[in-house]
Amino acid sequence: MNQMYKFLLTVLWLYISTSESAELYASSCNDDTKTDNTTQLSRNIDALLHGLVQGAAQKGFLTASYGNGVNQIYGLAQCRADVSGSDCSVCLRDAANQSRKLCPNQADVRIWYDYCFLKYDTAKFFGQVDTSYGVFFWNVANVTDPDVFNKKLSTLVDQIKSEAVKLPGSRGLGKGETEISAFETLYALVQCTRDLSPINCAQCLSVAIGNFGTYCNDKKGCRVLYGSCYVRYELYPFFFPLDAQGSLAYNAAKYESVKVYKP
């Protein structure tokens, strides 16, 4: 594996719950947050988060800033574009609350949930591709026929990527499915943050998909989470509209994950 990569955390996940919505995937905090007044920074973060949580649910996306000078804080809140407004609202509220617990006096914070993503920083980051922190989840089970699977996966992912980059109309979302065999269907979804230009969305997704060989090789399911995009595929339906079989299959799947920081 690439020497440049610094491994922060490895966890083994066993999913036993059907409730995916409130699921926290990962978070990152920067311990070197620059501020001349922690109290003021903290107030600005709270005010920013309040505004983001209130404002983002309806459209599923919002960028905002609060405060001024060294303690000015910039934030982005976004839900997966297939998620309902009410699920989005619940997810962002959880994300805001959790971020303040996990990163109490810090900026440069990212927090990933299944349905939503939240980021805030003292630097203005809107429109920039962020692939510095990556979180990778893979199903430990291998596919039975890697040749057929990888060909179908690659075609499907290319297709939904080309949909997602048609921002702003696409809302950064591409999703689709393809039959692997008479018994198996492959589902995939890609999502860029909606502050990105089409070319930056394409760049983030290319980096994410470029990790398939390292983290997702021949795996039955995989997720790549970055500050600017999200890519996931599974052999069960996981995006909306979801059918009843989805949660059954989901319960049986076992995942491993790693969080990687590439400065």
Ligand X SMILES: *[C@@H]1O[C@H](CO)[C@@H](O)[C@H](O)[C@H]1NC(C)=O
Q: Collapsing DSSP states into helix, strand and coil, what is residue 70?
A: helix
DSSP designation for 219: B
- Residue 141 engages ligand X in binding (rule: CB under 6 A): yes
Contacts for 16 with CB less than 8 Å, ≥ 6 apart: 251
Helix runs in the chain, H state only: 38-59, 85-102, 146-164, 198-210, 212-215, 244-252
Binding residue for ligand X (CB under 6 A) from 76, 88, 96, 116? 96
- Residue 142 engages ligand X in binding (rule: CB under 6 A): yes
CA–CA gap between residue 200 and residue 193 (Å, rounded): 10
| Residue closer to ligand X, measured from CB, 201 or 216 | 216
- Residue 155 engages ligand X in binding (rule: CB under 6 A): no
- Residue 118 engages ligand X in binding (rule: CB under 6 A): no
Rounded to a whole number of angstroms, the minimum distance from the CB of residue 124 to ligand X is 21
Residues 188-247 that bind ligand X (CB under 6 A): none
Residues 3-62 that bind ligand X (CB under 6 A): 37, 39-40, 43, 49-50, 53
Q: Collapsing DSSP states into helix, strand and coil, what is residue 257?
A: strand
| Residue closer to ligand X, measured from CB, 77 or 224 | 77
Rounded to a whole number of angstroms, the minimum distance from the CB of residue 56 to ligand X is 11
Q: Which stretch binds ligand X (CB under 6 A): 112-120, 140-148, 221-229, 235-243?
A: 140-148
Binding residue for ligand X (CB under 6 A) from 11, 140, 199, 252? 140
CA–CA gap between residue 221 and residue 254 (Å, rounded): 10
| Residue closer to ligand X, measured from CB, 4 or 101 | 101
| Residue closer to ligand X, measured from CB, 142 or 181 | 142
Rounded to a whole number of angstroms, the minimum distance from the CB of residue 146 to ligand X is 9
- Residue 68 engages ligand X in binding (rule: CB under 6 A): no
Helix (H) or strand (E) holding 22: none
CA–CA gap between residue 209 and residue 162 (Å, rounded): 13
Rg (the chain; Cα; Å): 18
User: Per DSSP, what are the bridge partners of residue 112?
Assistant: 26, 117
Rounded to a whole number of angstroms, the minimum distance from the CB of residue 1 to ligand X is 15
CA atoms within 13 A on the CB side of 15: 24
Contact 22, 91 (CB under 8 A): yes
- Residue 252 engages ligand X in binding (rule: CB under 6 A): no
CA–CA gap between residue 37 and residue 126 (Å, rounded): 24
| Residue closer to ligand X, measured from CB, 53 or 201 | 53
Instruction: Give residue 38's identity as a one-letter amino acid code.
Output: T
Q: Which stretch binds ligand X (CB under 6 A): 11-19, 58-66, 134-142, 149-157?
A: 134-142
Peptide bond into 104 cis (omega under 30): no
- Residue 166 engages ligand X in binding (rule: CB under 6 A): no
Which parts of this chain interact with ligand X (CB under 6 A)?
37, 39-40, 43, 49-50, 53, 93, 96-97, 140-142
